[in-house]
Structure 1
Amino acid sequence: MLQFRSPHITPSSLQFRLTLELIGLSILGLGGIALGAGWQMEQNLVAAHKQTLEYIAMRFPDQIQLYSEMGQLEMGLERTVDKVSTPGLAVWVKSDDGKLLVRSPNLDATSPEIHRVDALAAVPETPQVVRFGHRDIVLCGSPLLLNGKSLGKLYLSQDITEDYQKLNVGLWRLFFVSMLTIVLLIVAISLRIRKAMHPLEQMSQVASAVSADDLNGAKLQLNQAPDEVLGLARAFNEMLFRLSESWEHQRQFVGNVSHELRTPLTVVAGYLQSLLRRGDNLSSYQQQALATAAAETERMIRMLQDLLDLARADSGNLHFRLNPIILNTLVAEIADMSQKVSNRPINLLISEEDIVICGDQDRLQQILINLVDNAIKYSAPDQPVDLVLEKTDRHALVHIRDRGIGIPLPHQQRIFERFYRVDESMTRSRDGTGLGLAIAKSLIEGMNGRITLRSKPGEGSTFTLILPLWSYPVEHQPSL
């Protein structure tokens, strides 16, 4: 069964890049809109006040002339100033020699507004924003002409500090609203991109988790995906189907070839052995050649038998006779037999309590012999091999430990693959087909067990068989 793992989002992932780019564009877009809106609001505020002062300055002579017709010029000036004066707007008129002729009711001769303007090197004739300390003033000083005659200079001063403060409050509100919108956009964009990338993530998970045994059942189900992803998913499913067919054909081919070759090779091995037994008149070189040919033929027969076992396991035709097995006895027999055959020390560590497991004794014996034989081959002649038997609540554990060359970490994940060798130059000289661990894995899994590996280069390896304990039926349990 396929098992999926949650993908990690890294800076190099497409999801991270798309999210970052869209968030960046959103921030730039909203930030630009907010800055543009703030700048436009400020320009509108200043322009409105400027237009007001320009209108007053333009209409001021006409107002003077209107009021002067009903009295003297000085009265016309005063009435005009009183008419245009509003809170926040200061109006005064000075003669050409600098004498204050008339002023707004809210001004006097010592008003700071007048002194600040007098301190300026030049007063703009058109309304401009001038900053005095912490105050913002729209100021202009234009010549005052009546019927072509100069009356002096008209000064208009509009305090817009409060309006600026209100504008700043509005801008801060706009800023916070923009930030909140950006946060909501970030969340929405992240969720949307994650949802949009889910089909690709599922495809990646299927591709990384699928194995040769899962090819038949591995299939992508993407009903809600976009058309482009659906097309990719269909192509992916078709590829899995073709791989499944190819893998099945390969299994059948290996099984058929192994079965067909085993009989003629057995005949060849028999003739070679017969020649060796009757080869008294052969030279030493001929006897050595026959011995080599016989050994390689036996090795080929073993490889074909291994391939047949794997083909049966792949097709589900490898049958097991599962019975209760006293593991203590079996492990002790394997240790004693291996020690006699190899003339190597085998350290046996087992508990006195009988450990009964459910398994196929012949298959389990084959696995243990294979693992002990590997431990002997890949360790120095003076180094012992440990066989340790342990028991947990539900499982029995058999550890086969050597102190040999070890297996590098990158190879440990592939060590149970067929024909896989860690180092061809190092292992080719040792006898073996390259199928032993693959067969051990298939056999142990056929008995509902597992095989694990812990290894470190230069320190040795430990293979562990994990098998379920035998559960006595209720009617056969001993009475207390």
Structure 2
Amino acid sequence: MSSRIKYRLASLRRSMCAPRISTKITALYALLLSLILIITMFSMGLGIYFSIYHQAEREIDISVQQVLQKLENGADFTQSFWEDDPVLPGVVLRVTNITGRVVFENDSHFPPLEEVAASTRDWSPFLSDKNLRVADIGNWSIYHEEIDVMHDGSIYTLHFLRTITAERQFLKHVQQFLIFAMIVGFIFALAMGYLASRRILKPIRTLTATARKIEIERMDRRIKVPEARDELTELTVTFNHMLDRLQDGINQQQRFVSDASHELRTPVTVILGYSDLLARWGQSDAEVLKEGISSIRSEAENMQQLIEKLLFLARADQKRQVLHKEALELSELLADVMKKMKLVTKRHTVELLRNDPGTVCADPVMMRQMMRIFLENSTKYTPAGGRITVESVRRGGWLCVTFADTGIGIAPKDQKKVFERFYRVDTSRTKAEGVSGTGLGLSIASWIAEQHGIEISLESNLGEGTQIHLRIPLMCG
């Protein structure tokens, strides 16, 4: 089974075990909107419920106050009692004596009091006056209250009644509508959540689809950046930037492998050629034997140096190249390097012009290697009889070290590329001057400088030599 199929199966299992983000967003959106709808509908229904019973309660209360006021003013339970409308429209008053017989009423069409009492609920409406009761008689709903009064030496009971049948029917219809509205609202919330999640996550789905199509052989695909400047735009830009860096890294790796293979092919070809030559003529011809052994050894040494440089850069790329930094007096190290350089260089004049003292935090082995690379490059590209100088000047918190030569120089178009791996300036020209190399030395020197916080700059003109300037930070105190 291929790795791609395994990856798809693993993704499918993960998607089956865990809900998708779109599902979570839809559920959350629907839940929040449903909660808002439920709270709104409940508040609306409670408000209507309270308003209906409160209105009836208010009308009965006003009627009670007006009837009691009229009785205090000496009115009797006669027909003239109704002259000033002591009860509000819709409110019925029945007066019973101590025996329970109705002695006075303004509407005889209401159900008898006995039936009202028998049909009265055991509880009062929510948030209503506790003295008020509701009686359910058939399709009727009656709000009523009883008050005992003393009038003309006799005890009477005042029964105030008001129908709330129409209001209750209205409340029932409202409740049904609200329940229906909540169901529709919940469905609407699910639909809106689904659409919103699809719209919000569309760039992510596009990003995922593009990522699935990207392969090592086709790293040129990029995600279209959305017009809206939001977090998804930042994610898209970051992803595209990551792809750019990956493509640069892969291209660099492929170029590195290609160049390394090319560099190794030449010495291997030479070694194989001389091996064949030795196999045919080496045993009978001493000159051929000597030349073959010398050439094979020379190419093997070149190959060894190339492999060591490749291993160095590979460890550097993998962050495995260890540095042992310590307090280092740079003037002593530079003087020692220049002393040994004078011993091995016979074709050039090598001078240390100025060597100011300064302590730096550095790995002495790496610093020595970096200086040797610059000096070896100068001797390699400077014709016999040329001059190579080094100068170290202290300026503030820095040591400025300059490596200068009177060599063939570097063209302006090549100066920015000389620190790239395997880059060699004008191959045909350098070969004509008798110069060869791998193009890795300056890359290693650049890496060492970067790890020590050293700034490198280069000045050069064709035929006038080259100057490499190092700006090295000194240790404080």
Q: TM-score, normalised by structure 2?
A: 0.47
Q: TM-score, normalised by structure 1?
A: 0.47
